[in-house]
Structure 1
Amino acid sequence: MTGLDRLLAAVAAIAGGLGVAASAAAAHTSGGETLKTAAQFLLFHAPAVLALTGFSAAGLVRGALARLAAAALLLGLGLFSGDLALRALAGTPLFPMAAPSGGVVLMAGWLLAAVTVLVPARR
Structure 2
Amino acid sequence: MKESRLFRILIILAGVMGADGVILAAASAHQGDATRLVPASSMLLFHATGVLAVVALIERGVVHARIGLAAAFGFVVAAALFAGDLTLRHFASHGLFPLAAPTGGTLLIASWITLAVAAAWPRRN
- TM-score range with shorter-chain normalisation? over 0.9
Equivalent residue runs for 1:1-123 within 5 Å: 2-123=4-125
- Supply the distance in 2 between the matched residues of 1:9 and 1:57 (Cα, whole angstroms): 13
Decide whether the 8 Å contact of 1:15 with 1:42 is kept in 2: yes
Alpha-carbon deviations, 1:34-54, whole Å to 9, x = none?
A: 101100111111111101011
Question: What is the SS of the residue equivalent to 1:75?
Answer: helix
Q: Structure 1 runs of 4+ off > 3 angstroms? A: none
Amino acid across the alignment from 1:105: L
Identity across matched positions, percent: 39
* Total equivalences in the alignment: 123
Question: Given the two structures, how large is their TM-score scaled by the length of structure 2?
Answer: 0.91
Deviations for 1:13-69, whole angstroms, at most 9, x for unmatched residues? Answer: 210111111000011223311101100111111111101011112333221011000
CA distance in 2, matches of 1:28, 1:120: 48
Which amino acid in 1 is paired with 2:38? K
Alpha carbon RMSD of aligned pairs, Å? 1.3
Q: TM-score, normalised by structure 1?
A: 0.93
AA matched with 1:16: G
The whole-number CA distance in structure 2 between the counterparts of 1:61 and 1:86 is: 35
Unaligned runs of 5+ in 2: none
Question: What one-letter code is carried by the residue in structure 1 that aligns with 2:114?
Answer: L
